[in-house]
Amino acid sequence: MAALAAFTARSLKTDRPVPFGSSIVHTRSGEVLLRALNAVAREFDPSSHAEVRAIRLATKKLKNVSLAGYTLYTTCEPCPMCMSTALWAGLDRVVYGATIEDANRHCRQIQIHATEVAERSDMRCIVDGPILREQCYALFTHPKMLRAFRSWPTRKANRQRPATVNPSRFKAS
């Protein structure tokens, strides 16, 4: 996790820093298959979270949709989309640093923990964390990252009103 935090911290030296980084590691040997960063802004793709990108790159590299035998490390607890992707990929384990609550201090989050997503699935995946939480959370609180958050459409200060359900959808015809 320390190496992943250091890899992710390199983005703080760029014009588009991100606190979200992930790596896919062989569970038994510990060999790093690859690392990826969040690329939502760079790719204009709301699904380009670091975890999803790492899983996509790993399955392509291995030419296999299954990542059984691998562990996903991530600097922040996976959101429900990312955790679902990890489950569908068959990862053995997910290990995270900062928590959803940590990330939510700076940008909007879906408040469903990775453990809950895993528990509601019939697919097996161990979820461990937070691990090196302070080191990973430091990626969020770096001065350059705090400045960058101001331009993010999902920044905490730019909260949108909660979605509402149209009651007429549920009226009997």
Catalytic sites, residue numbers:
51
> Rg (Cα) of the chain, in Å, rounded?
17
Query: Cis ω on the peptide bond leading into residue 162 (within 30° of 0)?
Result: no
Q: Which amino acid is at 73?
A: Y
> Kindly report the CA angle at 66 between 35 and 20, in degrees rounded to 5?
25
Helices (H), 70-127: 80-89, 100-104, 114-119
